[in-house]
Amino acid sequence: MFEMPAIASPEWRSALGAVAEPAAMADLRAFLSDEVAAGLTVFPAAPDLFRALDLTPPSAVRVVILGQDPYHGAGQAHGLSFSVRPGVRLPPSLRNVYTELRDDLGVVPATHGYLEAWARQGVLLLNTVLTVVEGQAGAHRRRGWEAFTDAVIAAVDRGPPAVFMLWGKPAQAKAALVDEERHLVIRSAHPSGLSAYRGFFGSRPFSQANAFLTARGRGEIDWALPPVGDAAAGVSVRGGGV
């Protein structure tokens, strides 16, 4: 059985309303339990499912980085889009994010992939779909997560001016939920190795975000990640995923 946790943040529970209630999540919970019962491995682990919401309450959101679905390799996904824990080898998409960050702002790429420092500054690291099956990218699309993440985006839209970085076509579809007169929406290709050269590289999302936030009195994001333990040497988990 997949033990879906409650959303810890009271702010998010209030902002999402009925969408976050157990009754509304029942079908999704049953589907995930069936996947586990069938012998499939679901990522991330249940306790990490709402990690992005737990770290970044709606009132603190300054930037939304929206991807597609979690990494599908063992040991990778932990509830923050594009992030991996210290000691896990950088996936190709995150390497490309770091490359664009360097080209955009001159930030030296981190030697680890742990993005929690961004989340704690108000960067909501979200995917359009919050679970995946090991080795099967996109396995849980159109199973119910999209309605939930629609509600998350709509909640951020109701808040102070923010930046929405929509990476890939599934993420870009969420633009319809955002008032672009109040918020900045940056659409680009997904940073995966398959599409980064088709519009992600050169999109300069980080400098655009900081300029927008500064102009609206919300302050810049410090995109330079601090060192995390011995993560520089961490190649212990290889896994798949973009």
CATH number of the domain that residue 125 is part of: 3.40.470.10
Q: Residue 129 domain-assigned? A: yes
Beta strand pairing call for 163-167 and 184-188: parallel
**Band (135; pLDDT cuts 50, 70, 90):** very high
Range of the domain at 73: 10-215
pLDDT at 112 over 90: yes
Q: Residue 2 domain-assigned? A: no
Contact between residue 80 and residue 110 where contact means Cβ atoms under 8 Å apart: no
Task: Give the pLDDT of residue 242.
Answer: 63
Mean pLDDT of the chain: 93
Q: Residue 235 domain-assigned? A: no
Mean pLDDT computed over 18-31: 92
Indicate the DSSP class of residue 186.
E
Q: Residue 53 domain-assigned? A: yes
Alpha-carbon distance of 241 to 173, in angstroms, equals: 22
Q: Residue 90 domain-assigned? A: yes
Of 69, 103, 104, 157, which residue is the catalytic one? 69
Task: For Cα atoms 110, 115, 119, give the angle at the middle one, nearest 5 degrees.
Answer: 140
- Closest-CA residue to 221 (of 208, 203, 233, 230): 208
State the total domains in the chain: 1
- 207 Cβ contact partners less than 8 Å away, ≥ 6 residues apart: 104, 105
Q: Residue 31 domain-assigned? A: yes
Q: Residue 233 domain-assigned? A: no
Q: How large a percentage of the chain has pLDDT more than 70?
A: 94
Q: Residue 190 domain-assigned? A: yes
pLDDT at 140 over 60: yes
Residue 53: count of CB within 10 angstroms of its CB: 25
Mean pLDDT computed over 131-147: 94
Q: How large a percentage of the chain has pLDDT more than 90?
A: 88
58-72, pLDDT tens digit by residue?
Answer: 999 999 999 999 999
34 is catalytic: no
